[in-house]
Amino acid sequence: MDIWINPQTGGYEISNGAPVRDPADGLANAVYMRLMTHLGSFWANPTLGSRLHELAREKDLARIELLARQYAAQALQPILDDGRATAIEIATERPHNGRLLLAIQITAASGRQLTFQHPVQVI
């Protein structure tokens, strides 16, 4: 059983003293960990993580959308490689408020469609 990591708080979700199970059968945690961890910073697996944190120093320009999609796709590729998902689509939205929003659509191996949103800080 995967205990769900709430993306809003970054902590495990507990309800009535019991852990809450990942609503996406482990994919929610996998997506969160791969996007939030800085690439190369996890001692047990230096290939886990993304380069999205590098965009925090970038201006809110059109090219940032392309970089964010590329960095997210690279980080999520292992989910496709290990067979937990059959497709991943990444879209971006720039509300020009210092954030870039990633909308990630994943088709799980079971055929279930899952949608995740991930904000990326930009200047």
* Predicted local confidence at residue 64, as pLDDT: 92
Question: What pLDDT digit, counting tens, does each position of 25-39 carry?
Answer: 889 899 999 999 999
Structure tokens at 55: 């965009």
Structure tokens at 75: 């980080």
In the sheet that 85-93 helps form, which strands lie side by side, from edge to edge? 85-93, 99-108, 113-121
CA distances from 78 to 5, 35, 43 (A): 19, 12, 17
Domain locations in the chain?
A: 14-121
101-118 burial code (b ≥16 CB/10 A, e <16): ebebebebeeeeebebeb
- Per DSSP, the three-state class of 67 is helix
Question: How many CB atoms sit inside 10 A of residue 47's CB?
Answer: 11
CATH number belonging to the domain at 14-121, selected among 2.60.40.1180, 3.40.50.970, 3.10.450.40, 1.10.10.10: 3.10.450.40
Mean pLDDT, residues 97-102 taken together: 89
Question: How many CB atoms sit inside 10 A of residue 46's CB?
Answer: 10
Over its C-alpha atoms, the chain yields an Rg (Å, rounded) of 15
Give the residue with greater pLDDT, 25 vs 64.
Answer: 64
* Predicted local confidence at residue 121, as pLDDT: 87
